[in-house]
Amino acid sequence: MSRSVKSWTVLALLLLAGAVYCFYWLYGHGAFGTSPIEIPVHLDEGSRLSTSFYVSEKGQHYIELQYPKVATYDIDRELDAIAGKATLTSHGGFIARANLPVGHRGFYSMVLFTLSMEPHREYHLSLDVARLPSALKQARPTIKVWVDPHYNLIFPQIELLGVLLVVLALFCLVPGIRLKAGHLKFPFLILLATSLAITGLGYAGLMLIRPSSFAGWRWSMVQVCFLFVVLGPVAFILSLVSWFAPSVIGYFRSYRAGSSP
C-alpha cells in the first residue's frame, strides 16, 4: 500500500470516527425521539409529595408542575398563589431547592427546575405544599420532566456534520469517486452554499428578534426563522447526497467501461 493511499485511509477512518461520535452524541441527548416523563400526582394544602424518576438522555431538562387546561381560567394567578418548597436530590445528595411560587412559566405549568441531568440516574423530587388555591385542590396535576427544547436548534447542525463526515470519508476511501466528484463540483457547490445561506438567515432572524417581543407578526417571523433553521441543514444534506450519488454512478460506469473488452 502506497504512502498516499495510507494517508487517505487514515483520514477516512478519522472522519468516520468523528461521524460515529456525532451520532452517539445525538442519541445520548434525545435527538432521535424521546417522550417526556409525566407522573400524575395529587397535591393538597399542608401535604408533602415525594416521587422518583429517571431520564434517558443527557443534557438540560425542565422539571415542571403542570396542570390540565380545564383546571382554572386564570392558571398564572392560581400558580402564583401556591406556596411551599421544592427539593431535588439524587442518591441522598442535595441538587437544588426552590421556594414556591417559581416565576418561570410553561404552558399551564410552573417550571420548578432547569438543570443538567444524567441518564439512568435516579432523581428524587419532594414538594412541601404550604398553601394551595381552592381552584387547584380538585385538579390532578402532573410532574413533567422533559429535555430543554433549545436542543432542537443544535440537533440539525450535529446531524449535518455527521452526514458530512461520512460522505467525506467515502470520498477519501475511493479515489475514483473523489475524481468524479471534482468534475461535478460546481453546480452542487452552489446548492450547498444556498442551503448554508438559508440556515444563516434563520439564525440571524432568531438573534435579531428579542424573546420578549414574541407576539403578533414577530411570532410569525420566529416561526419562519425556525423553519429556515430546520430546512437549511436538510437542504444541505440532500445537496451533499445528490453530489455524492452522481459521483458514485459515474465512477462505476467508468469502471465497467474500462473493464469491458
Which of 117, 148, 179 is the last residue in one of the domains?
A: 148
* Distance in angstroms (rounded) separating the CA atoms of residues 51 and 61: 17
Select from 49, 57, 71 the least CA-distant residue to 143.
49
The per-residue pLDDT for range 184-215, each reduced to its tens digit, is 667 677 777 787 788 788 778 777 765 544 44
Q: Can you give the CATH number for the domain in which 126 is found?
A: 2.60.120.790
- pLDDT number for residue 123: 96
How far is 214 from 113, CA to CA, in rounded Å?
A: 23
Question: What would the pLDDT profile of 138-164 be if each residue is shown by its tens digit?
Answer: 888 999 998 877 777 778 778 878 887
Question: Is there a single domain that holds both residue 21 and residue 49?
Answer: no
* pTM check: above 0.75: no
Q: Is the pLDDT of residue 55 over 80?
A: yes
- Domain end call among 85, 115, 148: 148
Spatial CA neighbour of 127 closest among 62, 53, 43, 49: 49
Range of the domain at 166: 3-29+153-259
Are residues 164 and 243 located together in one domain of the fold? yes
Same domain, 133 and 160: no
User: What is the tally of structural domains in the chain?
Assistant: 2
